[in-house]
């Protein structure tokens, strides 16, 4: 199923398909603990967020050069185009790459080069969002934040991702204050596995403009009321929630309930190479369980465009 949408919750490193991982490992002389694509694929059974993140971080070591980043960005955009994506706000994890000795400038230049080809070739517009790891020290995030600004790296916003439980948003308040003071947009993963309280913190302390996931808001009626009143965008990732066992089955997914309550939800793919598919697969799976009406689908699509960081005129063009 192909619906024109904006993709607002997509981790570039989560688009690394097993075949690409093996090819990049061979090209870059990186030794992996798997002899074949099938052996690697056999690992894609997750019990929670952390069990996925362990493999996700292990696999991204195959990325070594600016050209690798250009290539995977472009491969993703081809797939996104095929699934109806008209605009993308792409996440990447700079800490993962600079820790391996890659230059921040090379990583960003490679991604930007891919994004620019995507704009020319398929008309997919874009924003780029650097995500900080919540499992790493806030001081490390702050050093990186200052470097991104001081060296004028070409990003549009910041995010917060990785292991959620035990790493509340409040730890990163200073980093987000700094980003905002320097004109950057702000989003954060909150309420994926973590409690509703983390969503309150993301709103009140990090002052985010969108909440990534946010499904746990339903545990707290006062929070739901606030999110509805503010029409705060929530970027929901159904297949991810099932594969990481945040939700048992698609039939149990809270998306219909969230729509019903008037929350500004949209559908996204998170780490599609790991979770069984891109935007089209997410919608196909939702339709199988919920058979959304044309009106509900139109709301999900228009929510995705309205929740972008595009200026009003560009939003109107996409709507």
Residue 11 known to bind ligand: yes
DSSP string, 172-210: GHHHHHHHHHTT-EEEEEESSSS-HHHHHHHHHTS--SE
Contact map string, positions 12 to 41, toward ligand ADE, x by CB under 6 A: --x---------------------------
Residue with smallest beta-carbon separation from ligand ADE: 161
Catalytic residue among 174, 192, 209, 312: 192
Q: Among this protein's residues, is 89 annotated catalytic?
A: no
270 binds Zn ion (CB under 5 A): yes
Contact map string, positions 204 to 243, toward ligand ADE, x by CB under 6 A: ------------------------------------x---
> Which part of the chain contacts Zn ion (CB under 5 A), choosing from 40-48, 51-59, 257-265, 266-274?
266-274
Residue number with CB closer to ligand ADE (96 or 310): 96
In the window 46-105, what residues touch ligand ADE (CB under 6 A)? 49, 56
Any residues with CB less than 8 A from the CB of 66 and at least 6 apart, and which? Answer: 106, 107, 109, 110, 113
Residue number with CB closer to Zn ion (7 or 270): 270
Per partner kind, with CB cut-offs from 5 to 8 A, the member of ligand ADE, Zn ion, none near residue 49 is ligand ADE
Strand (E) or helix (H) holding 287: helix 279-290
Q: How far is the C-alpha of 39 from the C-alpha of 189, rounded, in Å? A: 30
- In terms of Cβ atoms closer than 10 Å to its own Cβ (0-12, 13-18, 19+), residue 173 is middle
The count of residues in the chain is: 319
Contact (CB, 8 A) for 26 and 287 = no
The distance of closest approach from Cβ of residue 300 to Zn ion in the complex, given in angstroms and rounded to an integer, is: 18
Q: Which of 5, 8, 11, 59 binds ligand ADE (CB under 6 A)?
A: 11
The distance of closest approach from Cβ of residue 307 to ligand ADE in the complex, given in angstroms and rounded to an integer, is: 18
The distance of closest approach from Cβ of residue 9 to Zn ion in the complex, given in angstroms and rounded to an integer, is: 6
Q: What is the CA radius of gyration of the chain?
A: 18
The distance of closest approach from Cβ of residue 313 to ligand ADE in the complex, given in angstroms and rounded to an integer, is: 32
What would the two tokens of residue 20 be?
Answer: 């690409």
268 binds ligand ADE (CB under 6 A): no
67-77 residues labelled b (16+ CB within 10 A) or e (exposed): ebbbbbbbbbb
The SS3 of residue 161 is strand
Give the count of residues interacting with ligand ADE (CB under 6 A).
11
Q: Measuring CA to CA, how many Å separate 175 from each of 107, 191, 194?
A: 21, 20, 20
> Which part of the chain contacts Zn ion (CB under 5 A), choosing from 72-80, 140-148, 217-225, 269-277?
269-277
Contact (CB, 8 A) for 171 and 136 = no
Contact map string, positions 170 to 199, toward ligand ADE, x by CB under 6 A: -------------------x--x-------
Strand (E) or helix (H) holding 307: none
What would the two tokens of residue 48 be?
Answer: 């929670």
Q: Which residues bind ligand ADE (CB under 6 A)?
A: 11, 14, 49, 56, 161-162, 189, 192, 240, 270-271
Catalytic center residues:
192
Q: Which residues bind Zn ion (CB under 5 A)?
A: 270
Q: Which residues are annotated as a binding site for substrate?
A: 271
């Amino acid at each position: 199923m192909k619906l024109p949408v904006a993709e607002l919750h997509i981790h570039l490193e989560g688009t690394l398909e097993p075949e690409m991982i093996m090819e990049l490992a061979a090209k870059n002389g990186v030794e992996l603990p798997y002899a074949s694509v099938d052996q690697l694929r056999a690992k894609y059974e997750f019990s929670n967020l952390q069990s996925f993140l362990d493999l996700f971080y292990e696999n991204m070591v195959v990325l070594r050069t600016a050209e690798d980043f250009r290539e995977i960005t472009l491969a993703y955009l081809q797939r996104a185009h095929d699934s109806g994506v008209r605009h993308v706000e792409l996440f990447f994890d700079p800490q993962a790459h600079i820790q391996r000795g890659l230059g921040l400038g090379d990583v960003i230049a490679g991604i930007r080069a891919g994004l620019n080809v995507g704009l020319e070739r398929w008309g997919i517009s874009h924003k780029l969002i650097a995500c900080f790891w919540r499992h790493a020290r806030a001081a490390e995030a702050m050093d990186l934040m200052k470097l991104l600004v001081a060296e004028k790296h070409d990003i549009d916003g910041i995010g917060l991702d990785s292991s959620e439980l035990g790493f509340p948003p409040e730890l990163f308040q200073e980093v987000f204050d700094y980003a905002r003071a320097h004109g950057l947009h702000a989003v954060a993963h909150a309420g994926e596995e973590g409690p509703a309280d983390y969503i309150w913190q993301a709103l009140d302390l990090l002052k985010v403009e969108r909440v990534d996931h946010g499904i746990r808001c339903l545990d707290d009626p006062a929070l739901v009321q606030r999110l509805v009143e503010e029409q705060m965008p929530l970027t929901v990732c159904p297949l991810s929630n099932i594969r990481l066992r945040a939700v048992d089955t698609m039939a149990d997914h809270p998306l219909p309930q969230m729509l019903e309550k008037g929350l500004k939800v949209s559908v996204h793919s998170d780490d599609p190479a790991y979770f069984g598919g891109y935007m089209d697969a997410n919608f196909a799976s939702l339709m199988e369980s919920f058979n959304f009406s044309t009106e509900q689908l139109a709301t999900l699509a228009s929510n995705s465009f309205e929740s972008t960081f595009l200026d009003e005129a560009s939003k109107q063009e996409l709507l």
